[in-house]
């Protein structure tokens, strides 16, 4: 039987309020109590949190290619094992393994590997939970390819997607595609019917087309500002439409590189914390030294926290989720509750798992991160198990 745990002296960021110097109890991998006063029932262990620390729901990164030397496209158990083990260091407790545009065989190997790893060890891994797959490409626009290899980009193909989803045993939860590459929105409509999120990204669509795509089922925007038609006052493009349409949840890479701090603040002011989803879009170089790395079969140079293809195109990031949270607090002066929304709750709601993840509430999975005022990770708990504990914190 798993030992129960009581965390005390921590500011608890719940859905509706912050409980100062409160108590969170965990039993059998589930949040058993959230209170201002110490529970009457005993717990096997108690951890007294460092002063002025904040307990938030575990972060959910819905757009992450890799990190710490591993990449989803490696199509190996060791790659997903590495991500699961290392992501708690940045406060991430759940993630969508994200693919990149490549030849069909490599995509299929990555999908099959994710399914097999999830079945073999992913569900019981002591680290971050791989809750599904984000299929980024290949159904995108060559005009807005970004770091997606152009030679493997192709129009949307419903039959091909159905084959891939069957291969992945239903693990594909988000598909990034360009609506102009999806004739009659056939794939978008199918995804909507299957409760899979169609996300507009790497697209040159104008606002009129995007609004029609919204009527067909689009409710999500991939990495706002990047690889999309820009804003103009006579044609707002994807950017302007995303910022003003209430129906769109919008991803944002908050590294201060993919989007200027003022652009991040603009997104926050326009969308509010309940419609923004902070992501890393990180690649394998995250957590490693500067140097040369592979991303989707392309050489990437990482220097000064920036990952670039040889032509200067941004190629993912090396951002960590807790760093992104610190940046957003600095860029926007947002609250801890805003951070909890943007790093966890919104993702859980979009993925249809808010009943068990995404907030600090009784009965939900015991996924939590404790941060200090600088958003440094002090402790991460994944499904009731301590997955990371800072050696520098005074516990």
Q: How far is CA 101 from the centre of its chain?
A: 18
Residues facing 361 on adjacent strands = none
Catalytic residues: 281
Structure tokens at 380: 């991460």
Spell 346-385 as b/e; 16+ CB within 10 A means b.
Answer: bbbbbbebbeebbbbeeebbbbbbbbbeebbbbbbbbbbb
CA 82, CA 85: separation in Å to the nearest integer? Answer: 5
368: closest CA among 58, 4, 34, 40?
A: 58
43: closest CA among 57, 24, 56, 58?
A: 24
CA 156, CA 169: separation in Å to the nearest integer? Answer: 20
CA 321, CA 261: separation in Å to the nearest integer? Answer: 16
C-alpha distance from residue 100 to each of 103, 104, 131, 224, 297 (Å): 10, 11, 18, 17, 10
Residues facing 60 on adjacent strands = 94
Which residues does 90 contact at the CB level (< 8 Å), separation at least 6? 59, 320, 321, 322, 323, 377
Are residues 128 and 93 in contact, defined by beta-carbon separation less than 8 angstroms?
yes
CA 172, CA 175: separation in Å to the nearest integer? Answer: 7
Structure tokens at 50: 């460092």
9: alpha, beta or left? (left if phi > 0; alpha if psi -120 to 50) = left
Are residues 205 and 239 in contact, defined by beta-carbon separation less than 8 angstroms?
no
CA 152, CA 336: separation in Å to the nearest integer? Answer: 41
CA 339, CA 102: separation in Å to the nearest integer? Answer: 34
Structure tokens at 145: 């390819």
């Amino acid at each position: 039987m798993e030992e129960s745990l009581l965390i005390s002296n921590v500011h608890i960021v719940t859905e509706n309020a912050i409980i100062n110097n409160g108590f969170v109890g965990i039993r059998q991998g589930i949040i058993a109590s959230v209170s201002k006063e110490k529970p009457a029932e005993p717990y096997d262990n108690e951890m007294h949190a460092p002063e002025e620390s904040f307990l938030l729901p575990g972060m959910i990164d819905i757009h992450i290619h890799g990190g710490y030397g591993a990449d989803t496209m490696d199509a190996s158990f060791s790659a997903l094992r590495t991500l699961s083990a290392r992501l708690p260091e940045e406060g991430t407790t759940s993630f969508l393994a994200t693919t990149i545009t490549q030849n069909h065989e490599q995509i299929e190997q990555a999908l099959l590997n994710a399914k097999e790893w999830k079945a073999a060890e992913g569900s019981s891994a002591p680290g971050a939970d791989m809750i599904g797959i984000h299929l980024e490409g290949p159904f995108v626009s060559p005009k807005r390819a970004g770091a997606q290899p152009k030679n493997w980009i192709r129009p949307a193909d419903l039959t091909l997607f159905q084959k891939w989803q069957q291969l992945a045993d239903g693990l594909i939860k988000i598909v990034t595609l360009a609506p102009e590459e999806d004739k009659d929105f056939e794939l978008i409509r199918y995804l909507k019917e299957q409760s899979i999120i169609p996300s507009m990204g790497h697209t040159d669509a104008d606002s009129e087309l995007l609004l029609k795509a919204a009527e067909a089922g689009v409710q999500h925007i991939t990495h706002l500002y990047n690889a999309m038609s820009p804003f103009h006052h006579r044609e707002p493009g994807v950017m302007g439409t995303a910022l003003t349409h209430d129906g769109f949840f919008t991803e944002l890479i908050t590294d201060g590189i993919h989007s200027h701090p003022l652009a991040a603040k603009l997104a926050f002011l326009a969308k509010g914390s309940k419609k923004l989803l902070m992501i890393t879009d990180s690649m394998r170089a995250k957590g490693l030294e500067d140097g040369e790395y592979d991303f989707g079969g392309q050489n990437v140079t990482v220097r000064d926290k920036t990952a670039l293809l040889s032509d200067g195109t941004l190629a993912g990031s090396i951002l960590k989720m807790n760093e992104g949270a610190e940046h957003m607090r600095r860029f926007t002066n947002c609250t801890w509750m805003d951070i909890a929304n943007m790093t966890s709750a919104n993702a859980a709601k979009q993925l249809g798992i808010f009943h068990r993840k995404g907030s600090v509430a009784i009965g939900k999975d015991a996924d939590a991160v404790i941060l200090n005022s600088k958003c440094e990770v002090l402790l991460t708990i994944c499904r009731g198990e301590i997955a990371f504990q800072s050696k520098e914190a005074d516990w």
